[in-house]
Chains A and B, each alone.
Chain A
Amino acid sequence: MSYLNLIWPLSGGLLIGLSAALYLLLNGRIAGVSGLTASAFGWTGVGISPLGLGFLAGIAVGAAVAFAWIRHAELTITSSPVLLMVGGLLVGFGTRLGSGCTSGHGVCGLARLSPRSMVATAIFMVVAAMTVYVVRHVVGGL
Chain B
Amino acid sequence: MAYRVLASVLCGLLFGVGLVISDMVNPARVLAFLDVTGTWDPSLAFVMGGALIPSSIAYAIRRRRTRPAFDTEFHVPANRTIDRPLVAGAVLFGLGWGLVGLCPGPAIASLVTGRWEAILFATAMFVGMFAYRIASSRQTAQLRAH
Contact = CB atoms under 8 A, between A and B. Distances in A.
Interface string B30-65: 010011111000111011111111111111011001
Contact of A16 (B1, B23, B51, B108): B51
Interface string B3-40: 11111111111111111111111111101001111100
A73 B26 CA distance: 8
A121 B47 CA distance: 15
B128 A84 contact: no
Contacts, number: 494
Nearest to A38: B129
Q: DSSP class of A's interface residues: helix, strand, loop or mixed?
A: helix
Q: DSSP class of B's interface residues: helix, strand, loop or mixed?
A: helix
A50 B19 contact: no
Nearest to B7: A26
Contacts of A27: 4, 7-8, 11, 68-71
A37 B95 CA distance: 20
Contact of B125 (A5, A9, A91): A91
Nearest to B83: A116
A116 B80 contact: yes
Given A26-B70, A66-B21, A92-B127, A60 B117 contact: no
